[in-house]
Amino acid sequence: MDFGSSRTLIVVLALAVLITAAGLITARLASEPRPKGKTLFELISVAASTRSERTVRRISNDEARDALAAVRGMGTELDRFLIKALQAQDNSWRSNYQSFYKSAFAQPFRRYLSRPVSGVALRQLGVRAIGKTGRMSPRIERMLITACQDSDLLVRGEAAMILGYKGSRSPEVTGALTRAVQDPQVAQIIGQGPRHSAFEFDLAGKNLHEMIADLDRPLPAARYEAAYALRGLGSNAAPAIPALLRLLNQSEQPIRIACVRALGAVGPLACNALPALQKLCREEDSTLARSTINEAIAQIESQTTR
């Protein structure tokens, strides 16, 4: 075989390998769920949609679920988008595509957007995506603190809610929340809770470590829900005993009682909590509360958990 024939054979074999690889990739992509949305913005927009928005936009629940799963699996690219979205400024363009993409406003979003989007829409989407995914980092927390002073009510209210359920107890977060809830409309948004159909946020702890962390969140409702969730873990919640004991000194009775029930559910492993529970029982004015505490004490003193 001469040199020319050898080169032709190599080219043919290389083309065969490329065609086979392309076929395998195509088959794999065809077998995987394809979330609706061509750009990252559109994908997040589907993932962060509420029930009413899905109805109007004709997005199926399966499409929304697949999009949310895809977004949750993203790494630094999602974080970069969320931070840029929260930093988006209000702009004065209308619907002129050419002027939009030439504007300084659009520069950070060129790779994400296929159509003009307003600054407030980006900030709303950024906050909602954080609530949907439960994404939190020190930098995102700082951006949410700033968002609590946003000119848009939804951005302010949802940012405050997320901080209350997933933020730290730092003075900056506490101060931002204190200022935010002075607005009755923001307080109303927070009071609806993250699982309300208007938000459908996923801010609850997914495992024991996250539930224990949630016992120290800024909002009382977040601490109550964490204690309530720990009760369902039974004796597996034993590592949460120190955090639950700290919350027995809370001024909010519902939180105290939720912690009492969680300690009772742990059973004999929570025997070191007995002195604190007995002291609390003597101090409680409510007959119902004392009855709940005595029941928890009985569970702990028993040889088996219920």
Sequence letter at residue 151: S
Sketch out the chain's domains with CATH numbers. 40-94+102-192 (no CATH), 208-301 (1.25.10.10)
pLDDT of res. 97: 45
Distance CA 196, CA 134 (A): 15
Q: How far lies 163's CA from each of 36, 78, 99, 113, 198, in Å?
A: 29, 19, 36, 27, 18
Question: Tens digit of pLDDT for each residue in 232-252?
Answer: 999 999 999 999 999 988 778
Report the candidate in 184, 185, 251, 192 with the shortest Cα–Cα distance to residue 223.
Answer: 251
Q: How confident is the model at residue 38 (pLDDT cuts 50, 70, 90)?
A: low
pLDDT by residue (tens digit) across 168-200?
A: 999 999 999 999 999 999 999 999 999 887 888
Query: Under a CB-based contact definition with an 8 Å cutoff, are residues 85 and 125 in contact?
Result: yes
